[in-house]
Structures are given as C-alpha cells and as structure tokens.
Amino acid sequence: MPDRYTPQVIDHLVRPRNAGEIPDPSGRGESGHEACGDVASFTVGISGNVLEEVRYKVFGCAACVAAGSALSELVAGKHLVEAARVSKIDIQDAIGGPLPLGKEHALTLVLDALHKAFEDHWNRTAGEMLLNGAKMPGKGGRSVVAAMSGGVDSAVTALLLQEAGYDVATVTFRLHDGEKGSRSCCSPDTVLFARDTAHRMGLPHFTLNLKELFNRRVMHDFVGSYQEGRTPNPCVACNAHVKFHASAFLADEIGYHHVATGHYARGEEGPTLGRPVDESKDQTYVLWPVPQELLARTVFPLGEYRKTEVRAIAEERGLAVAYTPESQDICFIPDGNYRRFVRKKVTAEPGDVVDDEGQVLGRHGGVVDFTVGQRRGIGVSAPTPLYVKEVRPSTGQVVVGRKKDLEVREVAVRDLNLFLDPGYAACVQVRYNSRPVACSVEETADGEWIAYLAEPVMGVAPGQSAVFYTEDGNRVVGGGVVARRAA
C-alpha cells in the first residue's frame, strides 16, 4: 500500500467533479463508515435508464472525497446497466492506484452510496407494482437478470449464464434488517459481498429494497400462521410473492428477457418444474407457487449439476464464494429460534394440552409454540412419547397423541397453482425432505383438492405445502397449501 496520495487523488481534491446535490433527484443514497465517521451521499437524475445527472457529497477524509468525485465522473452519462458494472477496481484505477493503508474503505463507501441511489430510484419507479405482484411482459433477447444472494449457488448461476453467452445483470434483495456478519442471504455484509463478487466477474449489480414487500407477504404470514395453528414455509411465500416478481420487474425495467436463480431445479415443457440431477438438493417443492408466466421466462442452470460440481466450478474460476457455508433455513431468524421471534410479535395466551377425548393432560404457554408432528417441548409426561396432533387456536387447545395417531390417508389442499393438467397428478410430497407418496386426487365443490394417499403419511401440518408430481415423480403438476387433516 502507498503511504501518500497519488496525483490523481490530488487532482480530484483540487478540481472535484460533480460535487453538490440534485434538488429533485430520481434517486438518493447515503452510506456511512462507523469506524471513522465518513459519510457519502449521491443524488442521481435518470431518464430512459441513462444517468443524465450525478452529484455527490462527502463528509470525511480526502480519500472519500476523491473516490466520490472519481466515481461520479465514471458513471455520468452512462446507461444504468453500465453504471452498475463500475467496480471498486475501476474507481481505484481512476485515482491512480491503491489508496494509502487504512483508506481503502472509501471505495466501498462511495460505491454503496451510489447503489443506494439506484435502489431508491427503483423503489420510486416500482411504486405499488412490487407490492401487488404486478408483472410486465418480457422483452426478447438472450439476456437475463440473475438473483445473487452472496452464496456459491447464485454466483455460479451467474457465471454459467455468462459463459453460455447470456448478457447477465445481477440483483441482490434487501429483505429485512439482517445482522452484520450473519449468514442471512440479505444481511448488510452479504449485499456488499454479492456486489463485489458480481463486479469481480465483470457483471453489473443492482440492489432492490424489498423490506416492505417481504414484511407484508412473508413475515406477517409467518407470524399469523402460528397464531392460527398453521405451520408456514417462508421460502415458499418468498418465491410466491417476492423474489421472482422482483427479478422480473428489474428485467422489464432494463429491457432484459429472462430471470435466473440458483435453485436446484429444471425448467421442463409445460412450462413446469423438473427435479434436478442432484436429488439431495432438489428445491422443486418450494417453487410450486411461481406463476406459470414467470416460470416460462426463468432459467435454472444448476438443475444440471451436483452441489459438489458447483463448488468445484467456483474454486476453478477463483470465486471467493467457493467455500461459503450453506445458508440458514429462515433468513430473518439468524439464531433459528422461531418461537422467540413469533413471541416478540404477538401475545401468547396459555391453554390446555388435551388428548383426543378432550381430557386435560397439562398446560402450555401458547399455541404459537406448537406445530403438528412436534414431539419435544410439549411439557406433558406419559408412558409413551406424545406428539402434537392438532393445534386449535380458537379454544387454545393443543391436542396430542401417539405417533400412530398422526397418520393420515387423506389431505385437503387449497390455493392451487397448476402447471400441468390435474390428470397427471399421480403422487404428492407433503414435506420438503419427504418422498412422494402415490395418490389420486378429487376436486371439491369449493375448489380444493382432496389427495387420497396410497399409504399413510405422518404429521401432515396445515399451512405446509403439498406438491403433486407426475407418475415418474420427476415433473411438478402443481402445488397448494395443506388446508386441514381430513378425517
């Protein structure tokens, strides 16, 4: 690292470019560095996806002032896609090389402020579109917006598409206020890491702030489900209402056709979903609610690879994500304690633990602590293990029974999303890691389906997903939400 500033840095300090603020900008972004107190802000004027005007303000050290000036000069007049491709290395080159030791944060700071201005622009552009799940028709061409979470799967997805000749833009979503340093797919650190990964691959990177949408469509449903005695699957809700719609929104705005994710699945004729090569990573179960018109424009490159191969590709290409750990199950609950999370949001009332005959066996602290099939934490002693058989929020009762009592031969399913004719439904999967069970289906007068199972299945929980597959078990016919345990 040099111990002094380059002539280019001095030049930007003496003759700052684009300093100031746009009075009525298309987007505004600010980023601060906690350690030294530096703050950078950008305002942008955008018309027809072109940065017609860029202004920056920096309160802090000379390195940040020069970096902000250089970045504003690099992106002024560019198309948003090209501006989103500008990296820390590009800024460093523009100021004549590396900054002195301890000043490198200036590059990250100003770049983050600019991207937050882009983020603000997309929020203003989207308005209610994202909240209402609106979609626009795709535009032609071999171009794709790839969702990038900061992990190895999404990075290799973007890489494979790039190597296949696609024009790739990447996007990371801010879904909630994740903790710094957490493994959440949208923590503050992860957004920066995903951006840096994309830029090292030479790809443009955008962020979309979807906190309000995620809170409304995923977190509220998660908490409300436990209040109502249902067992939610937040990944399913996110795929249904957030990630795919947001990717398509950005693709439409910048004129790209396809969207892509790092899910392990295959796109099949229909369009429908097919199981991937790596059956141990199969994610078709959580993708059933994706609207068919969105599925038609979605690419799943990892459907043809095993996880070990994906990590090997990342290592061979020198991607820093090659050995990142697997992401956690629920991204907005870093410690995995969903009961504590739910209890922070609702008031839980005590109630009775009862058997099938209604005999009171004990007391519990709230129905939000229980889900069908649960064994631990029931708080009742018995000669044989007891399991939660039913949760009754209206009476505050938790019904328990023996393991065999959890077996069901019929499952009611609502809110169906179909890819293929229902006549192809030959088996159903009722949990993420369970095997499909042969079934026949019958539609009820109120639009639900009843799945008649060829063999009993245990612990089918209302609120979870039931996904129907073709006879060979490889293609998704459609899916829905378990409504209740049929008698």
Does residue 262 surpass a pLDDT of 70? yes
Cα separation values, 162 from 82, 157, 260, 311, Å:
16, 9, 12, 17
| Residue 124 main-chain phi, psi, to 5 deg | -70, -35
Residue the block writes with tokens 């509220």: 220
User: Out of 73-87, 96-110, 117-131, 275-289, which region has the weakest mean confidence (pLDDT)?
Assistant: 117-131
Is 154 within 8 Å of 146 (Cβ atoms)?
yes
Alpha-carbon gap, residue 303 to 96, rounded angstroms:
43
The CATH class given to the 407-485 domain equals: mainly beta
Return the percentage of the chain with pLDDT > 70, whole number.
92
Cis amide prior to 289 (ω within 30 degrees): no
The model's confidence at residue 140, banded by pLDDT at 50, 70 and 90, is low
Q: Which of 448, 430, 426, 450 is nearest to 439 (CA)?
A: 426
The model's confidence at residue 187, banded by pLDDT at 50, 70 and 90, is low
Residue 96's pLDDT is what? 94
CA-based torsion, 258, 304, 156, 123: positive or negative: positive
Structure tokens at 222: 């998660």
Structure tokens at 126: 């989207």
Mean pLDDT across 191-208 = 95
Structure tokens at 267: 């796109």
Return the SS3 of 222: helix
Cβ-count burial 136-149 (b if 16+ within 10 Å, e if not): eebeeeebbbbbbb
| Residue 294 main-chain phi, psi, to 5 deg | -80, -40
pLDDT single digits (tens) 234-252: 999 999 899 999 999 999 9
Query: Same CATH fold, 407-485 and 347-401?
Result: no
- Higher pLDDT: 118 or 181? It is 118
User: Largest Cα–Cα distance in the chain?
Assistant: 84
Residue 19's pLDDT is what? 94
Choose the catalytic residue: 64, 185, 331, 427: 331
Does residue 130 surpass a pLDDT of 80? no
Residue 368's pLDDT is what? 93
Does residue 36 surpass a pLDDT of 80? no
Return the percentage of the chain with pLDDT > 90, whole number.
76
331 is catalytic: yes
pTM of the entire predicted model: 0.90
CATH of domain 347-401: 2.30.30.280
- The DSSP letter of residue 79 is B
Residue 93's pLDDT is what? 96
The residue ranges of every structural domain in the chain are 7-125, 143-323, 347-401, 407-485
Residue 487's pLDDT is what? 41
pLDDT single digits (tens) 366-401: 999 999 999 988 988 888 899 999 999 999 999 999
The model's confidence at residue 131, banded by pLDDT at 50, 70 and 90, is low
Alpha-carbon gap, residue 231 to 234, rounded angstroms:
10
Alpha-carbon gap, residue 297 to 252, rounded angstroms:
11
Does residue 329 surpass a pLDDT of 80? no
Residue 325's pLDDT is what? 78
Indicate the average pLDDT of the chain: 90
- Give domain 143-323's CATH architecture: 3-Layer(aba) Sandwich (3.40)
Does residue 176 surpass a pLDDT of 90? no
The model's confidence at residue 446, banded by pLDDT at 50, 70 and 90, is confident
Residue 9's pLDDT is what? 93
The fold of 7-125 is Sufe protein. Chain: A (3.90.1010)
Choose the catalytic residue: 64, 235, 238, 427: 238
Does residue 183 surpass a pLDDT of 50? no
Residue 295's pLDDT is what? 95
36 is catalytic: no
